[in-house]
Structure 1
């Protein structure tokens, strides 16, 4: 059976204990490793390694001893409970003993978990797992995390998020690889220590590269430098930055400006802003004023709704137009 998307996410989170085997493959080794860890943890639970209910083999070991995988599947452990045989880094040249073990599987045997690289549709290993009645094959591709994956990652860290913090987390999920994303959530959980996470907390814990890639184009819009926006958007688009990410971070910046305008200056912001960014924000607050900033936030809200709708308009073009309109508002 071939699993994709939400179906695969649900399988990793709550695998059927009657599953004979699972093949997890993809070009991104980190994605594969994270999903393999999640699956094995949910199959055998904590303490499986100490209780010798988890057997690890490499693809090379499987090839050098053709019966090793089958023997491991059928061996009976000293401790009771579900068992897993994990074969890591299998290539197409090492597939034969793994396929033989899969064919020999019977109820009561351990669950076979196999990982590998980017197998083609013609792969014998992939075909064997897809065709088996009690096995699954999951291909992991270099694409943003889905909503269910994000929800599962948040739940794993027991995070409580404000609405704006949730949007910030979703933006990070579009930009970061899964390993960095999970590390960021872990840092957030330690930082929050059980309290609700605010949008500023997400900004504080986010890797510096996310803000660094967007700061220039946001500053260009806030400073009224419309001519700089086009080239910056081309560069960001080429780097794979999503339009939704840009609208989230731009909205956050203008919300800070509005809060400062209402409070009478950047000094009233919480958390406070220091350094060169403080000077730039003070200048922007004076130039915009509270009323124009409210108009800017309304424009950004409309842009956000358009980006999240079923509109077929090119998203980066929609965001670029919004930023240019902001820059023109700043100069008016």
Structure 2
């Protein structure tokens, strides 16, 4: 049977140990692997590895011994409890073997969990699970986790009592991070709040969010937009030491000032303009960018974009001027323009 995204979310929260099998497939191996890990952990509970209730197999190994999969499904262990046979990185090459295993599956056998990359509707492997009455096929898309998934993740980490603003901060973070980084952030937040009964705040979410070079570059652009000329040099030196190129900074600055320009030109005003930007602005930067857009105004933002376009042309030209010095001069000119 094929599960829709909403049905899949409910099933992942309480997977059925009496099913014959589950196929997880999608274009992003990381998202598929994380969902598989979550499902197997929920199905088997703690101690599955030590009690040998989980058998791992690579799909490529079945070429030499196709019967090994059915043998693993039928095998009986020494420890009570549900069992899972996990077949990793399967494809249509193993479709016939999987179909045979599903046909021979009986109550009491181990559940078969299969992961695969993107499968077309004509895929034999996908059809085997979608046509089986006691097996499920679930597509794992690249969409960020929804509110239900975030709440389930928080519950597993032992976090509760989030207010609307903190949940909104996490939802924004989920759109900006890959699934592995987002899960680590939730786990870090759980450790940060260990023993603290107070509700989670947006500032605490921000403290636990991963810090990256891109975030440092964004800080520099905010400093420029707010006319903090004295802080430009030290932060620019730090970014240069991290290996950030002048062209990267110019692209980041141009993107930021284009967003301010679009927000300022919005008929609903800068606040609504910032809210409508795609991709969405990080929750901590929204109010800051609204203030910047209001302070700059449309005419000066157009001047800033013209300056950045000229800088980009210089950086990409054959001139021998030190590129970081060119970029620093442009950023200082922007900051002074903000004060004008």
Normalised TM-score (structure 1): 0.69
Which of 210, 214, 229 is equivalent to 2:257?
229
Listed as ranges, the matches of 1:138-177 within 5 Å are 138-160=138-160, 161-177=162-178
Q: CA separation of 1:29/1:142 partners in 2, compared to 1, >3 Å: closer, same or farther?
A: same
Distance 1:16 1:226, change over 3 A: closer
Structure 2, unmatched stretches of 5+, are 229-252, 263-275, 299-337
RMSD, aligned α-carbons: 3.1
Structure 1 Cα separation of the partners of residues 119 and 295 of structure 2: 47
Q: Partners of 1:134 and 1:85 in 2: how far apart? A: 16
- Distance between the aligned counterparts of 1:73 and 1:12, measured in 2? 22
Matching of residue 248 in structure 1 with residue 283 in structure 2: yes
Q: What do the CA deviations read for 1:65-113 (whole angstroms, capped 9, x no partner)? A: 1111111111222211111111111122232212211121122211110
Matching residue of 1:31: 31
- Report the alpha carbon displacement of residue 130 of structure 1 after superposing the two structures with TM: 0.6
Please state if 1:135 is matched with 2:135.
yes
- Given that 1:29 and 1:117 are in contact with CA atoms closer than 8 Å, whether structure 2 keeps it comes out as yes
Q: Provide the C-alpha distance between the structure 2 equivalents of 1:21 and 1:232, rounded to a whole number of angstroms.
A: 51
| C-alpha distance in 1 between matches for 2:225 and 2:284 | 12
8 Å contact kept, 1:5–1:146:
no
Equivalent-residue separation in structure 2 for 1:227 and 1:89 (angstroms): 39
1:88 aligns to what SS in structure 2? strand
Q: Distance in 2 between matches of 1:252 and 1:163?
A: 17
CA distance, structure 2, for counterparts of residue 134 and residue 76 of structure 1:
21
Q: How many residues align?
A: 260
Which residue number in structure 2 is paired with residue 3 of structure 1?
A: 3
Please give the alpha-carbon distance, in whole angstroms, between the structure 1 residues aligned to 2:255 and 2:52: 64
Contact 2:20–2:112 (8 Å) recurs in 1 = yes
Residue equivalent to 1:74: 74
- Residue 197 (structure 1) aligned with residue 190 (structure 2): no
Note the C-alpha offset of 1:153.
1.2
* Equivalent runs, 1:8-27 vs 2, <5 Å: 8-27=8-27
Gaps of 5+ in 1: 235-240, 255-295, 298-322
**Which residue of structure 1 aligns with residue 95 of structure 2?**
95
Aligned 8 A contact 1:159 1:194 in 2? no
Determine helix, strand or coil for the equivalent of 2:158: coil
Match of 1:44 in 2: 44
Secondary structure in 2 matching 1:12: helix
Alignment check: 8 A CA contact 2:172 2:282 kept: no
Conserved 8 A contact 2:24-2:115: yes
Q: Deviations over 1:1-23 (max 9, x none)?
A: 11132211111120122211000
CA distance in 1 between partners of 2:182 and 2:287 (Å):
20
Question: Which secondary structure state, in structure 2, belongs to the residue aligned with residue 113 of structure 1?
Answer: strand
Task: Name the larger-Rg structure.
Answer: 2
Matched, 1:208 2:211: yes
Residues of 1 paired with 2:207 and 2:71: CA distance?
51
Cα distance in 1 between the residues matched to 2:53 and 2:40:
11
Native 8 Å contact 2:173 2:282 kept in 1? no
CA contact under 8 A between 1:217 and 1:233: conserved in structure 2? Answer: no
> Counterparts of 2:192 and 2:29 in 1: how far apart (Å)?
28
